[in-house]
Amino acid sequence: MKAEQDTVHPITTFSYIVNELQKRANNGKQLVYLSLVEPRVQGIFDVNASDIVGSNDFIKKLWKGAILHSGNYTYDSPEFKLLKADVNIDDRTMIGFSRYFTSNPDLIERLRKGLELTPYVRSLFYATNNNGYNTFPNYGKELQFDPKAEEKRRPVSLI
């Protein structure tokens, strides 16, 4: 078993990888973007804002191309100060939301207006039925549906 001092720190590893990707980009072989997810989860569980260790800010100093940045944007809801700062910092940062899209069909409008977000329901993720994907209402609206009927509806393949 390796001693703690013998392990390689993740920043060392990822700095090397990003630096090599930037070298390739400088030689005309640039990726479209790098996708960064902030360390706000442990396995499948969210952690409290106070328990987050580290960030991906160092990558922004190494990578000169486009970045798709996600994670940590809901801790300061409904002000979304971090989100606004990242959107306005430069013209290369794209923002990604995943989990909150299922429970907020009007997510863009809510973010724009600083409205509360409806919490997502993790147990509905990756379900094989319609319940939870098309059953959350827009802000201030009420959506009428029969949960049992939605559980019987299956997604339709577009292919």
Mean pLDDT per 10-residue segment, the chain (159 residues): 63 91 96 85 66 78 91 77 83 85 90 87 80 84 82 71
Q: How many domains does the chain have?
A: 1
Question: Is residue 141 included in any domain, yes or no?
Answer: no
Contact criterion met (CB below 8 Å) for 129 and 159: no
Would 36 be classed as within a structural domain?
yes
pLDDT for 16 equals 94
Confidence (pLDDT) at 31: 93
Q: Which of 72, 64, 70, 68 is nearest to 48 (CA)?
A: 72
54 Cβ neighbours under 8 A, 6+ residues apart: 10, 11, 39
Residue 114 lies in a domain: no
Cα dihedral value 57, 61, 62, 66, nearest 10:
80
Residue 147 lies in a domain: no
Residue 65, in any domain of the structure: yes
89 contacts 117 by C-beta, under 8 angstroms: no
Cα distance between residue 158 and residue 48, in whole Å: 38
Residue 127 has a pLDDT of: 77
Domain membership of residue 125 (yes or no) is: no
Task: Find out whether 147 and 135 touch, Cβ atoms under 8 Å.
Answer: yes
| Structural domain range at position 46 | 4-96
pLDDT of residue 29: 95
125: its two tokens? 């993720």
Residue 63 lies in a domain: yes
Q: Is 133 part of a structural domain of the chain?
A: no
